[in-house]
Amino acid sequence: MNISTTTEQISFEDLLTAIQPVDGGREIKDPATGALVGRAPEHTTADLHAAIAAARTAQPGWGALTHTERSTYLNLAADAVEANAETLAVLLSREQGKPLNGPNARFEVGACAAWLRATAAFQLEPEILVDDESGRAELHYRPLGVVGAIGPWNWPMMISVWQLAPSLRMGNTVVMKPSEYTPLSVLALVHVLNTALPVDVLHVVSGGREVGEALASHPDIDKLMFTGSTATGKAIIRSSADTVKRVTLELGGNDAGIVLPDADPQTIAQDLFWGAFINTGQTCAALKRLYVHEDIYEDVVAALAEVARSMPMGVGLDENNVLGPLQNKAQFDIVANLVQAAKDSGARVVLGGNPEEGQPGYFYPTTLIADIDNDNPLVAQEQFGPALPIVKYSTIDEAVEKANALEAGLGASVWSSNKEKALEVAARIQAGTVWINKHGAVDPRLPFGGAKQSGYGLEFGVEGLKHLGQPQVISY
């Protein structure tokens, strides 16, 4: 194995030049200011076919490497990300809108490097199933082939790494299709990663819906990974059916949080805020509906409002801001309409709910809505933005019933000063992950996946690696 250890630093201008088309391309504008960020190439299905063919040709050589050799490449890719971290963060902030500081752009780029290293470090040894007088049987995981990955616009770089890192580690090659809203971030990330990776093991194709549909149905794609809406996930399942692809789907969340009556409102307020408003609420596993016991309801509402008022929102390149705009006009309209429906129903606006008109950027103010019914659209539909409904409950049974009422089940949380009580409630919630006194704290070591219509398959950790390999039993 001959692996180059040279790490290249690329200027912002050179990186944009490398990923933009020489002529034409689709304009990508900053959602905070409306300024032009750059131009994205408009790849076609022919470009996709060429990328898949190149990835398939490269796969046998990549798959023939050992886990240790592929892990070495992943660590070198992490070095490349770290060497270009600020350039990537600035581009991400300008295209996606998230601020540089707080749990935002710099955090996301840092998470890319950390996830690459964590994935490289996992041990996946053959499992001995039987070893006795009758014989021996071992369970191995072989490469699947070529993995197709379709990513979202909310965490475009980090979720891309969630998809590509374990795929590569398991000996697959990868073809990625980024969101049409944030193609530059993923193009730039892949360009940086490919300074460390062998030729053709990782491709990115920037195109429209027809490219995504072609990727989902392509006979030479062996596994498909998708993060996004439940509606799109269902369409991908249909597109993948004829080729019986393996599929991992991480879909819409609408996560519930339950605050038990023994919780301390002041103690939990900061973590509640970031559980709901990280990335300005644009996170699949964000806290999107909060259930608070009537005994401490007003205290929790007040404590949360106090924290929310202190969090500055504005243009991402301003070092003072920790909240940014919604990434696109369509999402702004969804949030605005859901909040208006809540206001029309008579729910109490504790904070926000009044976006300024005539201002540049898709800024929606941090909004807290209290005294709202569980069937209100702001509660029942995933808002995916900076507006949190807070629902009062009287009994734990009532809270659990309301939390489980929807078909979404990605994550959930329980907030309490009594761990045993919190664990009892957590066991009753229908969600892939339930956090105690925190929300949305994903960890590369811990398997992550949805329940109900929030998707299927697992990501992260050793279990995530297994979902990107072909199980093979060898019995002798």
Query: H or E segment at 37?
Result: strand 36-40
Q: What is the mean pLDDT of residues 7-28?
A: 94
3-state SS, residue 343 = helix
Q: What is the mean pLDDT of residues 99-108?
A: 98
Q: What is the mean pLDDT of residues 448-474?
A: 97
Query: H or E segment at 127?
Result: strand 127-132
Dump pLDDT digits (tens) for 34-49: 999 999 999 999 999 9
pLDDT at 175: 98
Per the CATH hierarchy, to which homologous superfamily does domain 12-251+454-475 belong?
A: Aldehyde Dehydrogenase; Chain A, domain 1 (3.40.605.10)
* DSSP β-bridge partners for residue 175: 148, 203
**Residue among 82, 95, 108, 250 flagged as catalytic:** 250
3-state SS, residue 369 = strand
DSSP symbols for 231-275: HHHHHHHHHHGGGT-EEEEE----EEEEE-TT--HHHHHHHHHHH
CA-to-CA distance for 274 and 310, rounded, in angstroms?
A: 12
Q: What is the residue extent of each domain of the chain?
A: 12-251+454-475, 255-443
pLDDT at 25: 94
Percentage of the chain modeled with pLDDT above 90: 97
Residue 360 CB-half CA count within 13 A: 10
pLDDT at 4: 62
Residue 80 CB-half CA count within 13 A: 22
Q: What is the mean pLDDT of residues 62-84?
A: 98
Q: What is the mean pLDDT of residues 6-33?
A: 94
Burial of 209 (0-12, 13-18, 19+ CB in 10 A): exposed
Dump pLDDT digits (tens) for 158-180: 999 999 999 999 999 999 999 99
**Residue among 82, 108, 284, 382 flagged as catalytic:** 284
Q: With 70 as the cut, is the pLDDT of residue 5 above it?
A: no
Dump pLDDT digits (tens) for 410-419: 999 999 999 9
Question: φ and ψ at 254, to 5 degrees?
Answer: 55, 50
pLDDT at 2: 63
Q: With 90 as the cut, is the pLDDT of residue 359 above it?
A: no
pLDDT at 433: 98
CA-to-CA distance for 442 and 275, rounded, in angstroms?
A: 11
* Closest alpha carbon to 172 in 109, 237, 221: 221
Q: With 70 as the cut, is the pLDDT of residue 421 above it?
A: yes
Q: What is the pTM of this model?
A: 0.96
250 catalytically annotated: yes
Give residue 164's identity as a one-letter amino acid code: L
Q: CB-based contacts of 24: which residues, under 8 Å, 6+ apart?
A: 39, 42
pLDDT at 8: 85
Plot region of 65 (φ>0 → left; ψ -120 to 50 → alpha; else → beta):
beta
Residue with tokens 């770089």: 157
| CATH number, domain 255-443 | 3.40.309.10
Question: φ and ψ at 207, to 5 degrees?
Answer: -155, -175
Dump pLDDT digits (tens) for 376-395: 999 999 999 999 999 999 99
- The average confidence (pLDDT) of the chain is 97
Burial of 126 (0-12, 13-18, 19+ CB in 10 A): exposed
3-state SS, residue 455 = strand
Show contacts of 233-240: CB within 8 Å, 24+ apart: 233/455, 236/150, 236/212, 239/213, 240/216
Q: With 80 as the cut, is the pLDDT of residue 345 above it?
A: yes
Q: With 90 as the cut, is the pLDDT of residue 358 above it?
A: no
Question: φ and ψ at 472, to 5 degrees?
Answer: -140, 125
463 catalytically annotated: no
Read off the tokens for 426. 């957590």
Residue 281: DSSP 8-state: G
Q: What is the mean pLDDT of residues 111-132?
A: 97
Q: With 90 as the cut, is the pLDDT of residue 357 above it?
A: no
pLDDT at 7: 84
* DSSP β-bridge partners for residue 389: 369
Is 285:410 a contact under the CB 8 Å cutoff? yes
Question: φ and ψ at 158, to 5 degrees?
Answer: -65, -45
Q: With 70 as the cut, is the pLDDT of residue 115 above it?
A: yes
pLDDT at 1: 55
Dump pLDDT digits (tens) for 238-290: 999 999 999 999 998 999 999 999 999 999 999 999 999 999 999 999 999 99
CA-to-CA distance for 287 and 391, rounded, in angstroms?
A: 13
